[in-house]
Amino acid sequence: MEAVSLPRVIITNSTELKHEIMKLNYMKEEQEITLRNNVKEIYYSLQLSTIIRKTVNELSEDTHLKKTVVTKGIEMGSSFLLNKFMFKNGTGVKGFLVGIGLKKLVSIILSRKQKNISKKENPE
């Protein structure tokens, strides 16, 4: 907000004084309203939900980032599920080799599915 430089007013009687006071009070009220609105705007923009919403909107516009997030999510999810359900009782070399083979197979299948999804999103 800029400081307002008022022209020098010469007041010669009480009517001019009252008029100038009314004018200054009106200007003060306008500045207070503007200031209140600016404070509300700043408060709203600093709320966590607004920051998160803006960030998510900006990130969702970046298609390369979206593909990377999907890929990493699928990799992490498949590894977690395989470790959780498939390899609870697998021990020794045999369990280790079967685990590596299954992880590789699942990652190949998921990468093909992701390529199909990407083609559907961006037909060229």
Residues 16 and 47 occupy one common structural domain:
yes
What is the distance between the alpha carbons of residues 78 and 81, in angstroms, rounded to a whole number? 5
Domain contains 19: yes
Kindly list the averaged pLDDT for each block of 10 residues, start to end, along the chain of length 124: 74 93 95 94 81 76 74 74 62 66 77 64 56
Q: Domain check: are 82 and 93 in the same one? A: yes
- Burial level of 102, CB count in 10 A (0-12/13-18/19+)? middle
Q: Are residues 88 and 57 in the same domain?
A: no
d(CA 60, CA 66): 6
Strand runs labelled E in 22-107: none
What does the pLDDT read at residue 71?
Answer: 76
Report the 10 Å Cβ neighbour count for 13: 8
pTM for the full predicted model? 0.40
**DSSP-derived secondary structure letter, 46:** T
Give the amino acid at 30.
E
Of 24, 40, 61, which one is at a domain's C-terminal end? 61
Q: 3-state DSSP call for residue 73? A: helix
Shared domain check, 116 and 76: yes
